[in-house]
């Protein structure tokens, strides 16, 4: 018996890298960059990028995480640039920073680049807890989504397929980076509403959550959930 995934309407109205050679980057707490500070973003992002490279493997924690989660880096690297496993601190509101292992608020997290546009511009970094992948944040607070370019791409909806919205960056990466992940719930209606096709959650509960988020912005008949059908 196998199961296949078919979309159904929501009920109830609703680059492996070797690291940086010859240089040592010290992880230090930095004040998170104000997204409204023009002229400093590129410098700050490069500073964070050094910390990202320092945790990008192949070290024991990195190898253990990639193998345990079954991540296909060959498929993922085109979308995430770099994957690091490194200590971070999650900070309000929805931000993170790289920290020393010994920091009181340090926890191990996976970190990737947020890549945007045909030119593959790196606009932000995204980190998620190794212990709880649904807990995630961005470094700069400017990225709206992972996979946001797929929202208005007609190829996403080929054959009547819906846009898949994942709960977490890890789920998105494990899907082969198909679909997107909401990183900023506040801005989500602005860029999800123009989607030219249906929008699917991971399951019925997630689809209902998306319906609540997008109520008043899209026809809720467009919000669907996978229906497991025994074959």
Give the model confidence (pLDDT) of 191-213 as tens digits. Answer: 999 999 999 999 999 999 999 99
Domain assignment of residue 167, yes or no: yes
Domain assignment of residue 12, yes or no: no
Same domain? For 119 and 172 the reply is: no
Give the best-scoring range by mean pLDDT among 26-35, 69-78, 129-138: 129-138
The pLDDT score that the predictor gives to residue 185 is 95
Same domain? For 100 and 133 the reply is: yes
- pLDDT category at 28 given cuts 50, 70, 90 is very low
Domain assignment of residue 206, yes or no: yes
The pLDDT score that the predictor gives to residue 79 is 93
Domain assignment of residue 21, yes or no: no
DSSP state letter for 215: B
DSSP H or E stretch at residue 206: helix 204-214
Helix (H/G/I), strand (E/B), else coil: 67: helix
The pLDDT score that the predictor gives to residue 38 is 38
Same domain? For 94 and 133 the reply is: yes
Give tens-digit pLDDT for 62-110.
999 999 999 999 989 989 989 999 999 999 989 999 999 899 999 999 9
What is the number of domains present in the chain? 2
Last residue of a domain, one of 127, 142, 157: 142
List all residues 6 or more positions away from 184 whose beta carbon is below 8 Å from its beta carbon. Answer: 94, 138, 141, 143, 144, 145
Cα(217)–Cα(149) distance, integer angstroms: 19
Residues spanned by the domain of 225: 148-230
């Amino acid at each position: 018996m196998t199961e296949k995934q078919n979309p159904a309407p929501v009920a109830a109205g609703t680059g492996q890298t070797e690291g940086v050679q010859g240089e040592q980057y010290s992880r230090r707490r930095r004040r998170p960059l104000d997204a409204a500070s023009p002229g400093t973003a590129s410098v700050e992002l490069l500073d964070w990028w050094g910390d990202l490279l320092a945790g990008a493997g192949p070290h024991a924690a990195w190898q253990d995480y990639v193998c345990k989660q079954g991540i296909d880096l060959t498929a993922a690297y085109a979308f995430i640039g770099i994957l690091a496993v490194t200590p971070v601190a999650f900070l309000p509101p929805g931000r993170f920073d790289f920290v020393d292992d010994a920091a009181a608020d340090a926890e191990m997290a996976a970190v990737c680049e947020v890549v945007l546009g045909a030119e593959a511009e790196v606009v932000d970094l995204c980190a998620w807890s190794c212990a709880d992948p649904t807990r995630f944040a961005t470094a700069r607070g400017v990225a709206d989504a992972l996979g946001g370019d797929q929202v208005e791409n007609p190829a996403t909806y080929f054959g009547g397929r819906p846009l898949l919205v994942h709960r977490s960056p890890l789920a998105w990466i494990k899907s082969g980076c198909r679909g997107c992940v909401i990183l900023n719930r506040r801005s989500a209606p602005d860029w999800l509403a123009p989607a030219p096709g249906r929008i699917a959650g991971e399951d019925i509960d997630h689809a209902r959550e998306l319906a609540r988020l997008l109520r008043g912005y899209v026809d809720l008949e467009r919000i669907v959930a996978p229906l497991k059908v025994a074959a």
